[in-house]
Amino acid sequence: LRKIKPYFFKYQTFAKGRWLGRKVIDVFNTEFRDRDNTFYERAIRDGRVKINGETVSKDYIIKNSDIVAHDIHRHEPPVANLPVKVVRQDDGVIIVDKPSSIPVHPSGRFRHNTVLHILMKEQGYKDLYPVNRLDRLTSGLMIIALTVKKAREFELLMQRCEIKKEYICKVTGKFPSGITECHEPIHVASFKLTLNTVHPDGKACSTIFELLRYDPESDTSIVLARPITGRTHQIRVHLQWLGYPITNDPLYHDRNIWGQLNGRGGITEEAEKDLVKKLLERGEMEDEFDYALAASNVDLVQIESTPSHPQPEFCKICELPSRADPEPEKRVMYLHAWKYQANDWSFETELPDWAKEGLPAGAESMTELTVSEPATVDRA
């Protein structure tokens, strides 16, 4: 694992509109849930929380244009110790093969363990402008522009839908042969959880899927996904709705959370509300989803120690409870950005190992994945 020694970091921001007229202690308790009230009261008292550069009491009322700062002792989560490969550099862009578990850019609890920081620190790049962004657990192709001008050129291509994208995924069950289209609209069920669901009032969304190979022994399928639109978690949500979720998707493939149908065919408004509540509660007890804003709100000292959840040690500086290293199967998701192409260029990465399982020795190409059954069209 790639681990970062805990370090101090100053978080600073202008007061949000929803903070105005509220006590600073109340804002920290509701907006930043990775500590409890006792921690924030002490941070304010010790001067680690400041408003406009000045120490304040916990009852200070936040005003418009206030600058809120907090000196944090940050514990970054570890990520897979795999290289961020630059597979090609061409005409003002670099093509990167991103490993699973590493986020693209600093956000939440991640700063140093990010693709951009690793490229700048370890490979000497300076100005980097990601054209496409992948989820932390998604691996595969990233296009990163080296100039603002080049980034804008690619953004225009994206907006005009002139870039064709192809992803490889491993799903549960025997996926229908041939072509399957899904045009279900998607909306954000929870911004804090980055949770999305199919919803009639959601944004227009289209994905085309094609079965490449079915493995009866594991009852899983390797599927090619071509997203036409670019919504957050689009492929994952559409596969769940179709009833073939990604086999190890920690968010969209869990019957304990989604129910017996696991979200197939959609869920009701009431079920969605209950789902968000359950996920927040689960995020408080486990680290597998790594929600930055739904982190532990629980007094972990009171949690009974078990082999899977041993009593945590506490940082002597910030009293943050230690977190167990993520298990290997929680560092990867079987979704890989394989190929991006436009009229005059095409970029692709190698297939991940899990997509090559069961292939003949030496098989590496997509053509060797493709099934030979006649194509049919299923419209969902």
Distance CA 227, CA 207 (A): 4
Greatest C-alpha distance within the chain = 71
Distance CA 154, CA 145 (A): 8
Residue with tokens 């394989």: 338
Distance CA 8, CA 14 (A): 20
Residue 97 annotated to the active site? no
Give the end-to-end CA distance of the chain in Å, rounded to a whole number: 41
Phi, psi (degrees; rounded to nearest 5) at 319: 65, 20
Angle, helices 24-31 vs 37-45, to 10°: value is 140
The kind and range of the H/E element at 41 are helix 37-45
- The length of the chain is 380
Among the listed residues 284, 272, 254, 274, the one whose alpha carbon sits nearest the alpha carbon of residue 201: 272
Distance CA 180, CA 211 (A): 8
**Across 184-267, where does the E strand assignment appear?**
186-190, 195-198, 207-215, 220-227
The conformation of residue 355, written as its DSSP 8-state character, comes to: H
What's the token pair of residue 106? 């600093």
Q: Three-state SS for 348?
A: strand
Query: What single-letter amino acid sits at 348?
Result: E
Give the Å distances, CA to CA, from 206 to 166, 176, 326. 13, 17, 33
Distance CA 174, CA 172 (A): 7
Give the Å distances, CA to CA, from 282 to 256, 276, 278, 296. 11, 10, 6, 9
Residue with tokens 């970062």: 4
Q: Which of 135, 249, 254, 290 is catalytic?
A: 135
* Residue 30: Cβ-neighbour burial (10 angstroms; 0-12, 13-18, 19+): exposed
The conformation of residue 300, written as its DSSP 8-state character, comes to: G
List active site positions.
135
